[in-house]
Chain A
């Protein structure tokens, strides 16, 4: 079994990693990893295509939709932001559902950084929690792909509460002794890092991904500290004991399939 062909994504003309002029079709075949090792960010649609066995993806809870709760108006009305993203074909910051991977049925959830920075929102939290409850009840492994700036400001404290909502459901998954594999991609920060993303039974980071709680800009503002190169990188988190491994995207699918064979 293989994954589906990845969708075409907008790319710069040159790789930010090595400066080489990009061959889009070639890059697409290599799951948007440049020969130099630079990993381009993928949206949820691309992740679902990459991980799910071809033709097996069944989206769930896609009809749970966001709307403006706090009457958030400035600098841009939140309702207008959501509607514009929806017109662009994006369906919230988390998409979830079931599929097979290497023939084994799993629950899969992918963040989409293009939707308000992949922020954890009420709808994102609801989709994650429902999927985890279903996975726990059906004893299906749960695979997460994280890419998120944190909790969504425009949903106020209710966005913050999603961290508790999701971790409550994650506790059920944990108690059901179902494996939870978390793939951390660039970037994974804030409330997403401080809730589900770093609690995988196995945490797998993409090379070059920035992973942390507070972003470097805010750390500099708050503490006037100069951060060393590579601070909060995937390798930094590996050295600090926060992730189990740093794995290139080209090997991810095979690795997950292999892990799914080894875990109950």
Chain B
């Protein structure tokens, strides 16, 4: 139940209004949460191969008395910062940095928090030239080997493989007005209609709201936002997010690493089990 006196399913917003809220320029970004959750946060940079990706922030901070690795997409506030951070769209260096820091965290037994807020991986020539597909692929595979608890939260936009590259976790939670989708509504419209102006219809069909994802079993929990959405009260949103992350993390910290990895495997291996339970799908085990 919500602290704000509302249940997430009481929304009257249209799907497109939720998309606009998820993308709102005044919505809190990863650093707004990280600074509130871990005021002593120290940022760490670079993939140790070729560069640093400012679209992803990463570093350590003390969270509930424990050194914790924070990773998060970071969109910029000002136009200058937006350009510098590439609107939160990661290049290959970002995924390599993420895995470097995840391995660093595993080495020192720091749990990991991953905050997801990206339209997608950068859809440009430079990312292609440096192997964005393989960088995401490798990251997704490596996340399954990180022997410390990982909780991910979709705080704004969860767009496509660019988001999933940061979203392989033991628990995935979602803010009420965040979205998580196979592709942005514009990209989906462009693929299905060959016309990206059909974005509203695409968004309505994609089932990308937090309620949809909870119903499909893709996320474990929806964190209710304050009345008027996260942008109206950063502190209250951060407290609600912190509480949910902490609750999940506490449960995971009790698990031995082998069990943790097995559960993480099963979480994604059978993520469509609600669908697989349908008789038309066919037998789950031959």
Q: B16 in the interface, Cβ–Cβ < 8 Å?
A: no
Known: A167-B141, A194-B161, A227-B125. A61 touches B272 (CB 8 A): no
Write out the residue numbers on chain B whose beta carbons fall within 8 Å of the beta carbon of A240: 129-131
> A152: nearest residue on chain B (CB-CB)?
B182
- A160 close to B164 (CB less than 8 A): yes
- B123 close to A157 (CB less than 8 A): no
Write out the residue numbers on chain B whose beta carbons fall within 8 Å of the beta carbon of A126: 272, 276
> B285: nearest residue on chain A (CB-CB)?
A130
Interface residues on A, range: 35 or more
Write out the residue numbers on chain B whose beta carbons fall within 8 Å of the beta carbon of A88: none
> B136: nearest residue on chain A (CB-CB)?
A194
Q: B286 in the interface, Cβ–Cβ < 8 Å?
A: yes
Write out the residue numbers on chain A whose beta carbons fall within 8 Å of the beta carbon of B232: none
Give min CB distance, A87 to chain B, whole Å: 16
Q: A49 in the interface, Cβ–Cβ < 8 Å?
A: no
- A157 close to B283 (CB less than 8 A): no
Q: How far is the CA of A180 from the CA of B165 in the complex (A)?
A: 22
Q: A178 in the interface, Cβ–Cβ < 8 Å?
A: no
Write out the residue numbers on chain B whose beta carbons fall within 8 Å of the beta carbon of A72: 205
Q: A164 in the interface, Cβ–Cβ < 8 Å?
A: yes
Q: How far is the CA of A218 from the CA of B145 in the complex (A)?
A: 33
> B219: nearest residue on chain A (CB-CB)?
A157
List which B236-286 residues lie within 8 A (CB) of chain A.
264-265, 268-269, 271-272, 275-276, 278, 280-283, 286
Contact partner of A169 (CB less than 8 A), chosen from B180, B190, B193, B269, is: B269
Q: B62 in the interface, Cβ–Cβ < 8 Å?
A: no
Q: A104 in the interface, Cβ–Cβ < 8 Å?
A: no
Give min CB distance, A262 to chain B, whole Å: 24
Q: How far is the CA of A213 from the CA of B161 in the complex (A)?
A: 9
Q: B103 in the interface, Cβ–Cβ < 8 Å?
A: no
- A213 close to B136 (CB less than 8 A): yes
- B123 close to A122 (CB less than 8 A): no
- B161 close to A153 (CB less than 8 A): no
Interface string of B124-141 (1 = CB under 8 A from A): 110111111110111011
- A161 close to B136 (CB less than 8 A): no
- B123 close to A218 (CB less than 8 A): yes
Give min CB distance, A161 to chain B, whole Å: 5
Contact partner of A61 (CB less than 8 A), chosen from B180, B183, B218, B286, is: B286
List which B101-134 residues lie within 8 A (CB) of chain A.
121, 123-125, 127-134
Give min CB distance, A249 to chain B, whole Å: 22
Interface residue tally for chain B (C-beta within 8 Å):
60
- B193 close to A222 (CB less than 8 A): no
List which A194-231 residues lie within 8 A (CB) of chain B.
194-199, 211-214, 217-219, 221-223, 225, 227, 231
- B192 close to A153 (CB less than 8 A): yes
- A171 close to B188 (CB less than 8 A): no
Binds A, one of B17-25, B26-34, B75-83, B206-214: B206-214
- B128 close to A223 (CB less than 8 A): no
- B205 close to A70 (CB less than 8 A): yes
- B123 close to A223 (CB less than 8 A): yes
Q: A31 in the interface, Cβ–Cβ < 8 Å?
A: no
- B281 close to A67 (CB less than 8 A): yes
Contact partner of A157 (CB less than 8 A), chosen from B131, B133, B181, B202, is: B181
> B266: nearest residue on chain A (CB-CB)?
A168
Known: A151-B161, A156-B208, A213-B127. A64 touches B281 (CB 8 A): yes
List which A159-204 residues lie within 8 A (CB) of chain B.
159-165, 167-172, 174, 189-191, 193-199
Q: B168 in the interface, Cβ–Cβ < 8 Å?
A: yes
Known: A61-B286, A194-B137, A227-B125. A157 touches B182 (CB 8 A): yes
Give min CB distance, A55 to chain B, whole Å: 22
- A225 close to B133 (CB less than 8 A): no
Q: A5 in the interface, Cβ–Cβ < 8 Å?
A: no
Write out the residue numbers on chain A whose beta carbons fall within 8 Å of the beta carbon of B205: 70-74, 154, 156
Q: A48 in the interface, Cβ–Cβ < 8 Å?
A: no
Q: A232 in the interface, Cβ–Cβ < 8 Å?
A: yes
Write out the residue numbers on chain A whose beta carbons fall within 8 Å of the beta carbon of B283: 63-64
Q: A36 in the interface, Cβ–Cβ < 8 Å?
A: no
- A198 close to B265 (CB less than 8 A): no
Q: How far is the CA of A125 from the CA of B273 in the complex (A)?
A: 13
Give min CB distance, A57 to chain B, whole Å: 17
Q: How far is the CA of A182 from the CA of B106 in the complex (A)?
A: 30
- B161 close to A161 (CB less than 8 A): no
- B123 close to A222 (CB less than 8 A): yes
Give min CB distance, B217 to chain A, whole Å: 9
Contact partner of B138 (CB less than 8 A), chosen from A60, A157, A163, A199, is: A199
Known: A151-B183, A153-B192, A194-B133. A158 touches B208 (CB 8 A): no
> B282: nearest residue on chain A (CB-CB)?
A64
6 of the cross-chain contacts (CB-CB < 8 Å) are A161-B218, A163-B137, A174-B141, A191-B161, A218-B123, A227-B125
In the complex, given contacts A157-B212, A160-B164, A214-B123, what are 15 additional A-B residue pairs having Cβ atoms less than 8 angstroms apart?
A64-B282, A69-B275, A72-B205, A73-B205, A74-B201, A74-B205, A75-B193, A156-B206, A165-B272, A168-B264, A191-B160, A194-B140, A213-B121, A213-B132, A221-B190
